[in-house]
Amino acid sequence: MKEEVLIAGFGGQGILLMGQLLAEAAMQEELYATWFPSYGPEMRGGTANCTVVFSSEEIGSPIAAQYSVVIAMNQPSLERFAPRVRSGGVLLVNASMVPVPYEREGITVLYIPAAEIAHDLGQPKVGNVVMLGSLLGARPALPIGAVEAAIRTVIGRKHADAIDVNLSALCAGRDAALERLTNSAADAVAAH
Amino acid sequence: MIVTTRQPVSTSERAVRTPAPAKRLVKGNEALALGAVAAGAECFFGYPITPQNEVPEILSYWMPKLGRVFLQAESEVASINMVYGAAAAGHRAMTSSSSPGISLMMEGLSYIAGARLPCVIANVMRGGPGLGNIAPSQGDYFQAVKGGGHGDYRCIVLAPWNVQEMYELPALAFDLAERYRMPAFVLTDAVLGSMLEPARVPLEFPPLVRREQDWTACGRGNRAHKNVVHSLYLDPEVLSAKCEELQATYRRAACEVRFDERLIDDAQVVVVAFGISARLALSAVSALRRRGEKFGLLRPITLFPFPSERLSALAKRVRGMMVFELNSGQMVEDVRLAANGACPVEFFGKMGGVLPPPEELVEVFSKRFAR
């Protein structure tokens, strides 16, 4: 078992935290994990991305040419990284920031309205965790319990009062992905 | 499998061993800083530079808390000379920096080597030459392994490849530095410094155990002889003898070779890489094995002393060696010296902070040794 995940957007969107939650969850599942960030000199507004690899075997490279999951949090990231989704992989797009459609043969593409879902939860900042939840819905990469535990550990370190809304965001994101997967499966059946 | 000629990788002669803590997600630079604390570093002198800033940041918290010295110097030149002074007085002294900052320290390092003092220098390498950039590089291999400062001197050079070793190697660096009374480098890079991995890194540290040395200049006390620390010997005969003494020390240190081998036993081609390059190479070697191509990996952990003997022996039985580095080809020279013509030694490298993905390495390695 091995997943290579790339998360990209701009500084301030919580990109690096998404990756850390994933790596923490993988560690709690007793998997090998690496998290490697890449960002510009700006705190906010510059590009920010990170790669997370988790595996049941020792991990060599923390980066790859192709990823099993790409999460694109804005349009420049979609344009840059969508071609790097491996065949059979998943592309998760933050629909709130990306108005243009993207399709490719052989991969699953899901548009998740992260900002709207976060807004409905009463905390606009949790859009990143909504997207992280959508990963769990789109692909059974890790049990949701592990990511919930990671939220309690990592977010609980400094913002214990924000744990609950993040847990809700995680579930809402997962449900949004599951719903879209079901719909696209139904569309496929109807097309036949 | 990690092969050591003398001691296991993580023993500190001074640090009291404590039970291994639970795994947690740790950043490479944090592991390096806490590794120095656990190794019994008594003083740290440094000046900020990306991508190693977490090292002084974390030490500025821990060192005063434990009653040790943390000092942000006014420059790298000052830092290394503070290390010189503290080492002369017999303290475990350390500095850390990144490539351009290390260049500024070269004069002081040569003096420390000339005065036969132990100390530890961590270099979290970034792109060069000049100011370069803040992306990962291995362009300072020559500087660390071959000298960098003036005169005939050497340093112990240790290259970690994961966060756990970022924690463990500072202790080994201090031990070897003291055993041979020479400076030791922990040579790492911007990927390992900024990467998070699960690692066993404690947040509690036993008290320091100080050990008196008979060569320190920290007050004569009841000692019969007087110690003077210097590197100036105007008489050529005297300096020549001192230089011979240094070289003899470096020859003795050759027994401290440590390296790590993967899939070597039936390998037809041996990939040689250190630090983060060895991680990328391991992925490539595993992928090549899945295609039925018999590649193996040898990762030097000590870059000085270099595992020349092992490479010489392997060169006599393999089809070839493939050296991969994040530079224009530096360690490859030592691999070629070790192989001494017994097998072809190919090189592939990237500079400027570009990390070639394993998929690219697979194609390059396979093509170079296609039948």
Q: What would the pLDDT profile of B335-348 be if each residue is shown by its tens digit? A: 999 999 999 999 99
Q: Is the pLDDT of residue B24 over 80?
A: yes
A41 burial (CB, 10 Å; 0-12 / 13-18 / 19+) is: exposed
User: Measured between alpha carbons, how far is B246 from B252 in angstroms, rounded to an integer?
Assistant: 10
pLDDT at A8: 97
- CA–chain centroid gap for B302, Å, is 7
**B23: contact with A, CB 8 A cutoff:** yes
**B192: contact with A, CB 8 A cutoff:** no
pLDDT at A41: 61
Give mean pLDDT, residues B111-137.
97
Per-residue exposure over B314-346, b if at least 16 CB sit within 10 Å of its own CB, e if not = bbeebeebbbbbbbeebbbbbbbebbeebbbbb
Put simply, the answer to whether A64 touches B359 (Cβ < 8 Å) is yes
* Closest by Cβ to B280, choosing from A32, A35, A60: A60
Judging by DSSP bridges, how do beta strands B43-46 and B69-72 pair with one another?
parallel
Least confident of A110-114, A117-121, B17-21: B17-21
Strands (DSSP E) contained in A41-137 are: 47-55, 67-72, 85-94, 108-112
Put simply, the answer to whether A60 touches B355 (Cβ < 8 Å) is no
B99 touches B131 (CB < 8 A): no
pLDDT > 90 in chain B, percent:
89
pLDDT at B10: 43
Put simply, the answer to whether B358 touches A35 (Cβ < 8 Å) is no
Any idea what the CATH number is for the domain that residue A110 is in? 3.40.920.10
User: Measured between alpha carbons, how far is B324 from B330 in angstroms, rounded to an integer?
Assistant: 10
Q: Dihedrals φ, ψ of B181, to 5°?
A: 50, 60
| Amino acid at the residue B330 | Q
**A51: contact with B, CB 8 A cutoff:** no
**A102: contact with B, CB 8 A cutoff:** no
- The minimum CA-CA distance between A50 and chain B, rounded to whole Å, is 10
Q: Is the pLDDT of residue B280 over 70?
A: yes
Q: Per CATH, which fold does B15-217+245-254 belong to?
A: Rossmann fold (3.40.50)
**B246: contact with A, CB 8 A cutoff:** no
Q: Which is it for the CA torsion A59, A60, A62, A64, positive or negative? A: negative
Q: Domain coordinates of chain B in residue numbers?
A: 15-217+245-254, 260-368
Q: Is the pLDDT of residue B8 over 60?
A: no
- The minimum CA-CA distance between B283 and chain A, rounded to whole Å, is 5
DSSP codes of every residue in B203-265? S--PPP-----TT--S--TT-SSPP-------SHHHHHHHHHHHHHHHHHHGGG-EEEEES-T
Partners of A146 on chain B (C-beta within 8 Å) are: none
Put simply, the answer to whether B283 touches A61 (Cβ < 8 Å) is yes
ipTM greater than cut 0.95: no
From B283, which residue of chain A is nearest by alpha-carbon distance? A60
From A20, which residue of chain B is nearest by alpha-carbon distance? B196
CB < 8 Å & 24+ apart, contacts of A106-114: A108/A138, A108/A181, A110/A134, A110/A138, A110/A177, A110/A180, A110/A181, A111/A180, A112/A173, A112/A176, A112/A177, A112/A180, A113/A176, A114/A73, A114/A173
* Closest by Cβ to A62, choosing from B25, B198, B279: B279
Give the count of domains, chain A.
1
Six-digit token string for B131 = 């100011």
Six-digit token string for B350 = 């990237």
Q: Which of residues 66-95 of A touch B (CB under 8 A)?
A: 66
CATH 3.40.50.920: does it fit domain B260-368?
yes
Higher pLDDT, B55 or A140: B55
B268 touches B319 (CB < 8 A): yes
Put simply, the answer to whether A33 touches B198 (Cβ < 8 Å) is yes
Q: Is the pLDDT of residue B308 over 60?
A: yes
The band of A189, judged by pLDDT with boundaries at 50, 70 and 90, is confident
Partners of A34 on chain B (C-beta within 8 Å) are: 195-197
**A60: contact with B, CB 8 A cutoff:** yes
pLDDT at B5: 59
pLDDT at B18: 62
* Closest by Cβ to A35, choosing from B195, B355, B359: B195
Give the CA angle between residues B124, B162, B177 to the nearest 5°. Answer: 60
**pLDDT mean across residues, chain B:** 94
Ramachandran bin of B255, using left for φ above 0, alpha for ψ from -120 to 50, beta for the remaining angles = alpha
DSSP codes of every residue in A145-172? HHHHHHHHHHHHHH-GGGHHHHHHHHHH
Partners of A58 on chain B (C-beta within 8 Å) are: 282
User: Measured between alpha carbons, how far is A45 from A34 in angstroms, rounded to an integer?
Assistant: 25
- The minimum CA-CA distance between B145 and chain A, rounded to whole Å, is 25
Mutate to test the interface with A, among B54, B126, B194, B197 (most CBs of A within 10 A): B197
Q: What would the pLDDT profile of B34-55 be if each residue is shown by its tens digit? A: 999 999 999 999 999 999 999 9
B90 touches B216 (CB < 8 A): yes
pLDDT at B84: 98
Q: What would the pLDDT profile of A51-77 be if each residue is shown by its tens digit? A: 999 999 999 999 999 999 999 999 999
Q: Give A135's DSSP letter.
A: H
Q: Give B21's DSSP letter.
A: P
Partners of B359 on chain A (C-beta within 8 Å) are: 64-66
Virtual torsion, Cα B11, B13, B19, B23, nearest 10 deg: -40
User: Measured between alpha carbons, how far is A147 from B140 in angstroms, rounded to an integer?
Assistant: 40
B196 touches A35 (CB < 8 A): yes
Partners of B358 on chain A (C-beta within 8 Å) are: 60-61, 64-65
pLDDT at B9: 42
Least confident of A23-27, A47-51, B155-159, B256-260: A47-51
Q: Dihedrals φ, ψ of A12, to 5°?
A: 105, -15
Give mean pLDDT, residues A170-180.
97
**A65: contact with B, CB 8 A cutoff:** yes
pLDDT at B20: 81
Put simply, the answer to whether B25 touches A62 (Cβ < 8 Å) is no
For residue A63, give its domain range.
2-191
- The minimum CA-CA distance between B116 and chain A, rounded to whole Å, is 38
Partners of A59 on chain B (C-beta within 8 Å) are: 279, 283
- The minimum CA-CA distance between A120 and chain B, rounded to whole Å, is 32
Q: Give B12's DSSP letter.
A: -
User: Measured between alpha carbons, how far is B324 from B44 in angstroms, rounded to an integer?
Assistant: 33
**A23: contact with B, CB 8 A cutoff:** yes
Partners of A23 on chain B (C-beta within 8 Å) are: 25, 196
User: Measured between alpha carbons, how far is B367 from B59 in angstroms, rounded to an integer?
Assistant: 46
Cis previous bond, B305, omega within 30: yes
Put simply, the answer to whether B25 touches A32 (Cβ < 8 Å) is no
Please list, in sequence order, all residues whose beta carbon lies within 8 angstroms of the beta carbon of residue A68, skipping any fewer than 6 positions away: A2, A3, A4, A5, A85, A86, A88, A89, A90, A139
Partners of A66 on chain B (C-beta within 8 Å) are: 359
Q: Is the pLDDT of residue B230 over 60?
A: yes
User: Measured between alpha carbons, how far is A6 from B176 in angstroms, rounded to an integer?
Assistant: 40
| Amino acid at the residue B316 | K
